[in-house]
Amino acid sequence: MTPKPQDARPVQLHVIHDLGGGSAKWVEDFASADHERANLVLRPFTHDRAMAWGVALFVAGADRPLKSWSFTTPIVATVIAHAEYRRALEEIRRGYRVEVMIVSSLIGHSLEALDTGLPTLVVNHDYYPYCPAINIHFNGICRTCDDRRIAECHAGNPRFNPFVDFLPPDRIDGAFGRGPPARARCATARRAARRQPSRPTGRATARNRRSASTSRRRR
């Protein structure tokens, strides 16, 4: 399944993990309701405990990829920079004329997905990568987090620690949080997410019109 040559709709790229679940369902529902834009999906693939030995590009809803890129160096969970990932992302951005990035997960990706120069919307389905355990839970809901707690969580939080090879020095409150570029990229993404207006499409648009009509009648 490939985009039609005559399809002149603007293209947006969804960045998502390959773990399924609610985030993947959200991307699927979003794309099926959006008839104004072409939606592409970038997902990692792997054959062991690393989250990405490569990435594959799909038309939203398709089972077979448009193209895939294999890495010689895997992404264990998430990295600040990855040359092979960056080249694949740049090829996609230019080759498919991507205009907007929608980042639903950085699992299996590089933080460079936040730094393409394109308008970028971050959808916070969970607390990753700020919390490597995803759901800020370690003997209860986490209220604070520092390097010591990150190390303790890695060693003693098996139920909420899916990335066993994602070592404490590499986790976002360790190495990710110390470098200004990482903080700047995340802050930029958060600001973009706050500024980006919600633009409903498809079924959502119809619901909003009905709500607006009802509201006007009540006035």
What are 201-214's pLDDT values in tens digits? 333 333 333 333 43
Structural domain includes residue 193: yes
Structural domain includes residue 203: no
Structural domain includes residue 108: yes
pLDDT tens by residue, 145-197: 888 888 888 888 887 777 767 766 666 544 444 433 444 344 444 444 444 44
User: For the chain, how many structural domains are there in total?
Assistant: 1
Q: Which range of residues forms the domain containing residue 41? A: 11-128+180-198
3-state secondary structure of 41: strand
Specify burial of residue 141 (Cβ count, 10 A radius: 0-12, 13-18, 19+): exposed
Phi/psi at 94 (nearest 5 deg)? Answer: -80, -45
Structural domain includes residue 143: no
pLDDT at 3: 53
Tokens of 44: 């990692």
Residue at token pair 């006035």:
219
Q: Tell me the pLDDT band of 81, cut-offs 50, 70 and 90.
A: very high
pLDDT at 144: 84
pLDDT tens by residue, 14-24: 999 988 888 89
pTM: 0.72
Structural domain includes residue 69: yes
What is the distance between the alpha carbons of residues 206 and 210, in angstroms, rounded to a whole number? 6
Rg (CA), the chain: 19
Structural domain includes residue 84: yes
Structural domain includes residue 96: yes
Within 8 A by CB and 6+ apart from 143, the residues are none
